[in-house]
Amino acid sequence: MKKQTLREWLLTAPSFIWLVFFFLIPTLIIYAFALRPADFYGGVKEGWSLDAFRSLARPNYFTILWRTLFLSFATTLISLMIALPVGYYIARCKKSTQNLLLLLVVLPFWSSFIVRIYAWKSLLHPEGFVKQLLVHLHIISEETMLLYQLETVLLVMVYSYLPFAILPIYAAASKFNPQLFEAAKDLGMSRPQTFLKVFIPGIRKGIVTAIIMVFIPAVGAYVIPDLVGGPKTEMIGNKIVQKTFIDRNLPEASALSALLSVAVVIPIAALSYFQFYSERKQRTVKKRKSA
């Protein structure tokens, strides 16, 4: 029994200690830094202060927070709208076609993140392929700017995070019993009705995972608005980087990070609660039926 516990500790200790040191303690440190006063040399002084949190009350931070939330929710929603039919389609293909399609979905996502953003930047560039094509087709005029807009940032965010939505929805859809479609049809349900009332509730878990997987990187995005956006598309991430490296005000950067961590935690907690609650409700319904 003693030997067993020792073994468990030996197996657990390396990763456990590593993560306590390089993950847990660093995560708590931002809250400590946010409560320190800044000094003039880009470091922090002794003592405690609420200045950094007070600085969050600036009106332009409110705009940026609002924009960050808008862009992340929009990205999540659009990705979900695309991932639902795609995940459904892949799950109903033959096994070999399924593997091929899944490989095609994840392949670009294995390639460098920066390279993919750069690819869009050169496509939308005034001299780029898409711009030239659209001007040629008289869809846009020569003066239209495709880069540096809010829509550009949204487009590239959807492009970057879409696979994160497709995979969990495919995984849930492939476990979904296809006979339920027939059953729904026999009971006189129309196709959209079946989709909304049978399929969507059936793959609820996959949808929740997809939302979390897209929302988290989206809310913390800063590379995409930095490369394809402009001053009008700044997100919290850009402000954190600016405060850390350009203004060298670490307490303010930490306070912004604390704000970002709240923006991550609240939707996740709400979704987990929703999932827990709906599962419990389902269990009580089952119990009542069996009773």
Partner 1 sequence: MKRSSFPFIVTLLMLFFLYLPIVILVVNSFNESRFGGVWTGFSLKWYHKLFQDRTIWYALQNSLIVAVSASVTSTILGTLAAFSLHRYRTKLQKIHYGLIYAPLLIPDILMGICLLLFFIALNIQLSLFTIFLAHTTFCISYVTMVVLAKLHNFDFSLVEAAQDLGASGYTVMKRILLPLLMPGLISAFLLSFTLSIDDYIITSFVAGPSSTTLPLYVYGMIKYGSPPIINALSTLLLVVTFICVSITYRLTKEDAQ
Per CB under 8 A, which of residues 194..213 are in contact with partner 1? 212
The interface region with partner 1, picked from 54-62, 88-96, 203-211, 275-283 by CB under 8 A, is 88-96
Draw the binding track, 171-190, toward partner 1 (x: CB under 8 A; -: no contact): ----------xx--x-----
If one asks whether residue 70 binds partner 1 (CB under 8 A), the answer comes out as no
- The answer to whether 20 contacts partner 1 (rule: CB under 8 A) is yes
The 3-state secondary structure of 73-86 reads: HHHHHHHHHHHHHH
Quote the radius of gyration of the chain (alpha carbons, Å): 24
The whole-angstrom separation of Cα 186 and Cα 183 is 5
Which of 37, 108, 202, 230: binder of partner 1 (CB under 8 A)?
108
Minimum CB separation of residue 118 from partner 1 in Å reads 5
Give least dist CB 57 to partner 1, A.
21
* Shortest Cβ 168–partner 1 spacing (Å): 13
Token pair belonging to 77: 């929603």
What is the distance between the alpha carbons of residues 58 and 60, in angstroms, rounded to a whole number? 6
Among 35, 64, 90, 157, binds partner 1 (CB under 8 A): 90
Residue 92 interacting with partner 1 (CB under 8 A): yes
Please report whether residue 227 would count as binding partner 1 according to CB under 8 A. Answer: yes
Among 18, 62, 70, 273, binds partner 1 (CB under 8 A): 18
SS3 44: strand
CB-CB contact of 218 with 154 (8 Å): no
Q: Which of 6, 50, 77, 104 binds partner 1 (CB under 8 A)?
A: 104
* Residue 151 contacts partner 1 per CB under 8 A: no
* Measured CA distances, 215 to 70, 157, 211, 260 (Å): 11, 10, 6, 12
Question: In Å, how far from its chain's centre is CA 117?
Answer: 16
Structure tokens given for 65: 């927070």
Q: Name residues whose C-beta falls within 8 Å of residue 278's C-beta, 6 or more positions apart in sequence.
A: 204
Burial class of 87 by CB neighbour count within 10 A (0 to 12, 13 to 18, 19+): buried
Q: Judged by CB under 8 A, which of 206, 225, 237, 267 binds partner 1?
A: 237
Q: Near partner 1 by CB under 8 A, which window of 52-60, 98-106, 202-210, 281-289?
A: 98-106
Shortest separation between residue 127's beta carbon and partner 1, angstroms: 3
